[in-house]
Structure 1
Amino acid sequence: MTVESPYAALLAEIPTRELVVDVLGSSTHYWEYGAPDAATTVVVVHGYRGEHHGLEPVIAQLRGIRIISPDLPGFGESTPLIGYRHDIAGYSQWLREFVARVGVTGTAIILGHSFGSIVVSAAVAGGLSTPKLILVNPIAAPALEGPNGFMSRVTLAYYRAGRALPERLGKSLLSNWLVVRFMSVFLAQSPDRDLRRWIHSQHHDYFSRYSDRDTVVEGFEASISNDVSMFAAKIDVATLLIGADRDPITSVGAQSTLATLFPNAQLHILQGVGHLVHYEKPREAAALIVDFIGDGSLA
């Protein structure tokens, strides 16, 4: 059962429209929040197996800024890429093309959350022009190394099994209710029971909105084979890193090390939250964003 968002009233105050553009063969659906003529535009890229709804709690807190939020190809409403793998190279090229198609190359600030932090970092390191970069819950270190290496390998085996099984069985495994709930419980840190209930509802509503098994497995393989540290040294624009002290995917130590790899980065660690800053601490994240870009305000 869908649970109403605690941020719904704030989001309803913002003018929103859905648009679609063809990028690398993907019918890419995207949502524009705020006035089209706002002085500042931010393009936001969601995390793995998410879609544009995931970053709406942060968007709901912002005023006076234009936000462009696409569904990654193969997720949500967007169709898969044609002729490209759904890996970091494919997604970063798609992002460069998408930003060009919507006419904001060199002017839009780019923001990525989780898997999106890898995509946008690769794109900027690869030549995407942006005045500033924002990474929320950045993937700071290799997933196959460190304390979570074993769990990453187990999860990889799960995804590959889902792709290898007959289609009906594989689809059932990859979208299994218990697996989605386990993931949601693992990531949620808030002690607020109502908020946790809504977070679980969000994951059940949107976590399985992918186009096909190949796309979702390619995406997961990309998510554990790459991290932001691989691209940081090549990014010379001002960068804001918004981390979390309880992030089970990236430790505070790894986030601190990552900040030193950028030529020009600042790191803010939010307290009492894990990998779901966008759900559990959206106002705190929005305040950091407004301060960093020097425009807009909080609702």
Structure 2
Amino acid sequence: MDLDVVNMFIIAGGTLAIPILAFVASFLLWPAALIKVYYWYWRRRLGMQVDYAEYEGYRFCYSHRGTPGTRPSVLLLHGFSAHKDMWLGVVKFLPKNMHLVCVDMPGHEGTTRSSAVDYSIEGQVKRIHQFVKSIGLNRKPFQLIGTSMGGNVAGVYASRHPSDLCGVTLICPAGLQYPTESKFVQRLRELEKAQDSDGIPLIPSTPEEMEEMLKLCSYVRFKIPKQILQGLVDVRIPNNDFYRECFMELVGEKSRHSLHENMHLISTPLQVIWGKNDQVLDVSGASVLAKAIPGSQVHLLDNCGHSVVMERPRKSAQLIMDFIIAQQNAAINSNKKLS
């Protein structure tokens, strides 16, 4: 074989080997970095841009796609210890021309971390309202969607600022008095009696604890390599003190039942989505909301746990879109009758 051809193959092989070796090295040595690259890649592929907004010195980090149009804009609020990128799976199945905004909740990821008062549900509602005003999202009514802690915030927001919204979707929301206690709530009661704030299942500090948390939150059982579990832990550990402070505020007297105490004030069209196999917040909470708010649309998903938006992203997107379109059609029909 000609020497130049041999050299070409060697160079080509070396060129291919470099990214492969870099990937393997990242997977084995820096899994946390690989996870961040993964989110960056999916944001870019889905057309989500990251921006910042300020309100009186407080900074919000958010991602967004599209511009306001004929359909209402959509604001998505994530759950405890998560971040704006948890919605990427759902974003993938929503129309590309729809205006979407995913914000990091107070103290989470790129949003300012300040005093504990901001982590109470009332504090978070106040901050989210500031965010909405800072980007002009409430120039016309928008759809508000929240899951878990974000669902609690979204529900209380709807009770406080109904004129901002055309609809609200609560996915496995926290903040209710549940007729049936979940496995997670039972565990919290045990920790409360023992006065142990270090064993909170949603604040893992080892790969093993991370695996247990994922089993608690998800009905679907994923086989996750230990390196990835370690990466997930590495990303969270620097924030664990904050998560603990935030969590104690959320389960405190002021916030524990915030949604329950305010749900009778919700006049905005309401959609409730819940996994039937939720071990964190029992699905019986759906009946509490349905009873308190007549006309609510309730969807209970089979073979689905607490992490609905990650386990069933396509179904979540479909239900959300069906609800938004139904509200638009109802508004059009109402206007026709008035005219």
- 2:181 corresponds in structure 1 to 146
- 1:16 corresponds in structure 2 to 48
Q: Distance in 1 between matches of 2:41 and 2:99?
A: 18
Is the Cα–Cα contact under 8 Å of residues 121 and 258 in structure 2 kept in the other structure?
no
- 2:210 corresponds in structure 1 to 180
Q: Distance in 1 between matches of 2:41 and 2:60?
A: 27
Q: Distance in 2 between matches of 1:265 and 1:180?
A: 35
2:210 maps to amino acid: V
Match of 2:141 among 107, 115, 139: 107
Aligned length: 283
Match of 1:47 among 69, 75, 79: 79
Tell me how far 1:213 sits from its aligned partner: 2.5
SS state of the match for residue 231, structure 1?
A: helix
CA gap of 1:3–1:97, structure 2 versus 1, over 3 A, is: closer
Matches within 5 A, 1:240-255: 240-255=271-286
Q: Distance in 1 between matches of 2:175 and 2:51?
A: 32
Deviations 1:167-220 (Å, cap 9, x if unpaired)?
A: xxx9xx9551233332112212114547x999968854654564x735642344
Gaps of 5+ in 2: 1-30, 327-339
- 1:261 corresponds in structure 2 to 292
- 1:217 corresponds in structure 2 to 245
Q: Which moved more, 1:58-67 or 1:87-96?
A: 58-67
1:29 maps to amino acid: C
- 2:127 corresponds in structure 1 to 94
CA gap of 1:245–1:197, structure 2 versus 1, over 3 A, is: farther
Q: Distance in 1 between matches of 2:172 and 2:116?
A: 30
CA gap of 1:9–1:28, structure 2 versus 1, over 3 A, is: closer
Q: In the alignment, is residue 285 of structure 1 matched against residue 316 of structure 2?
A: yes
1:245 maps to amino acid: K
TM-score, L = length of structure 2: 0.71
Gaps of 5+ in 1: 163-169
Tell me how far 1:74 sits from its aligned partner: 1.0
Is the Cα–Cα contact under 8 Å of residues 249 and 275 in structure 1 kept in the other structure?
yes
Is the Cα–Cα contact under 8 Å of residues 77 and 105 in structure 2 kept in the other structure?
yes
Deviations 1:22-47 (Å, cap 9, x if unpaired)?
A: 236431101102x2244331000000
Q: Distance in 1 between matches of 2:203 and 2:194?
A: 8
Tell me how far 1:16 sits from its aligned partner: 1.8
Superposition RMSD in Å: 3.6
Match of 1:31 among 58, 63, 74: 63
SS state of the match for residue 272, structure 2?
A: strand
Is the Cα–Cα contact under 8 Å of residues 182 and 279 in structure 2 kept in the other structure?
no
Q: Which moved more, 1:181-190 or 1:3-12?
A: 3-12
Match of 2:111 among 78, 81, 106: 78
Is the Cα–Cα contact under 8 Å of residues 182 and 280 in structure 2 kept in the other structure?
no
Is the Cα–Cα contact under 8 Å of residues 24 and 82 in structure 1 kept in the other structure?
no
Q: In the alignment, is residue 123 of structure 1 matched against residue 157 of structure 2?
A: yes
SS state of the match for residue 294, structure 1?
A: helix
Runs of 4+ in 1 over 6 A off after TM superposition: 3-10, 157-160, 196-199
Q: Which moved more, 1:242-251 or 1:201-210?
A: 201-210
Tell me how far 1:89 sits from its aligned partner: 1.1
Higher RCO (CA 8 Å, separation ≥ 6 residues): 1
Q: Distance in 2 between matches of 1:133 and 1:205?
A: 34
CA gap of 1:7–1:273, structure 2 versus 1, over 3 A, is: farther
TM-score, L = length of structure 1: 0.80
